[in-house]
Amino acid sequence: MPIVPTSAIGAKFIGWGTSLPEKIITNDDLSKTLDTSDEWIRERTGIERRHVGGTTASLSIESGRKAIQMAGIDPLTIDALVLSTTTPDRTVPATSATVQHGLGLRCGAFDVNAACSGFVYALVVGHGLVAMGMRRILVIGTDTLSRITDWSDRNTAVLFADGSGAAIIDAVSGPGHLLGWDFDADGSLEDLLYAEIGGTLHMEGKEVFRRAVRIMVDSAEKSLKASGLTSNEIDLVVPHQANLRIIEAACKRLDIPMSKTAIILQDTGNTSSATIPLALFDAADHGRIKSGDNVLLVGFGAGMTAASAVIKWNQS
Ligand code: ACO
């Protein structure tokens, strides 16, 4: 059932930041050690290069610090930190604890893991905390997939990479910028994409592709319905950046032209929890979103999860 936010207290973005490791690996670099080519990777995925390095905590601290700086707030006024990651630095404690300390926060902190859909899950959870009375939430999406990638497996090594994006949402009186949202998961499909603890990613690429298009469209339609909007009222779609062809197929079904999508995967690869905030804030930083625009965030991932949200940019 579509979820319409009902709280009299909503939230909006007051700051954001992103972080990518310095080290860049190009498709040509990969083709030196794998039976692949720049041409194959570009044509089949849209990816040209990716950033690799750092830890989930270090990238999160960098993006979180930038978000705090942009918002111009005292870190002690943050009421909770929600970190979306599927690649925590340790099994225990949650990586959010390391990030909380690194940023000098004094607040509750916890991790959310919904694979590549995780940032949208974390963002909606942050809004839930605001509806329950908190004022200011730091939401971060970070993954270091390079640490669980088998670099000798061409099926996965050409796709995955590292990055982070962070946002601060602040309470407003009124419904805020979140117009509608949706969560989905189908655990019966978990063997399509998994990594055992201490192991590397295994993926049934073709089947993930097929399912991904379907669940992205389904989730986006539910969020649109909840928000009372149609797809042609969306000004920008920020999809999970896994494969350009998945995005093209999903947008075609949603009847949204590719000119209305935020795409960065050519430069970043699939950074899981980080793809949506990286693409969203890249678009915002480049003036592609103006006040009042309707922005659709839509992700999918292992599990097989999906999540979407419709945001009215800067709405109080
Ligand atoms: N370089 C060159 N050739 C390759 C490579 C490679 N890196 N990988 C596969 N091939 C070959 C295959 O062996 C196959 O050869 P064959 O025809 O001789 O058998 C041929 O290319 C075609 O392979 P397909 O698997 O059919 O290629 P496809 O077009 O499906 O693309 C890909 C593969 C890119 C993995 C695609 O299926 C995909 O993107 N799937 C979705 C993956 C995804 O989104 N994962 C992230 C989920 S989100 C999360 O939670 C992390």
The residue ranges of every structural domain in the chain are 10-172, 178-312
3-state SS, residue 146:
helix
Q: 116 CB under 6 A from ligand 1? A: yes
Give CATH for domain 178-312.
Answer: 3.40.47.10
* 234 alpha carbon – ligand 1 mean position (Å): 30
Where helices occur in the chain by DSSP H, the ranges are 27-31, 38-45, 56-71, 95-102, 118-131, 154-157, 205-227, 244-254, 265-268, 275-285
CA–CA gap between residue 10 and residue 128 (Å, rounded): 9
Residue in 44, 119, 193, 214 to alter for ligand 1 test, most ligand atoms within 8 A of Cβ: 44
Q: 209 CB under 6 A from ligand 1? A: yes
Mark whether 240 is an active-site residue: yes
CA–CA gap between residue 237 and residue 231 (Å, rounded): 10
Q: Please state the atom number of ligand 1 nearest to the C-alpha of residue 155.
A: 8
Here the tokens at position 259 are 């000119």
Mark whether 177 is an active-site residue: no
Per-residue pLDDT of the chain (316 residues; tens, 9 = 90+): 666 676 778 999 999 999 999 999 999 999 999 999 999 999 999 999 999 999 999 999 999 999 999 999 999 999 999 999 999 999 999 999 999 999 999 999 999 999 999 999 999 999 999 999 999 999 999 999 999 999 999 999 999 999 999 999 999 998 899 999 999 999 999 999 999 999 999 999 999 999 999 999 999 999 999 999 999 999 999 999 999 999 999 999 999 999 999 999 999 999 999 999 999 999 999 999 999 999 999 999 999 999 999 999 986 6
Give CATH for domain 10-172.
Answer: 3.40.47.10
What's the predicted TM-score (pTM) here? Answer: 0.97
* 242 alpha carbon – ligand 1 mean position (Å): 11
Q: Do the domains spanning 10-172 and 178-312 agree at the CATH topology level?
A: yes
3-class SS shares of the chain: helix, strand, coil, % to 5 = 40, 30, 30
* 95 alpha carbon – ligand 1 mean position (Å): 31
Here the tokens at position 270 are 């699939």
Identified catalytic residue from 116, 127, 251, 294: 116
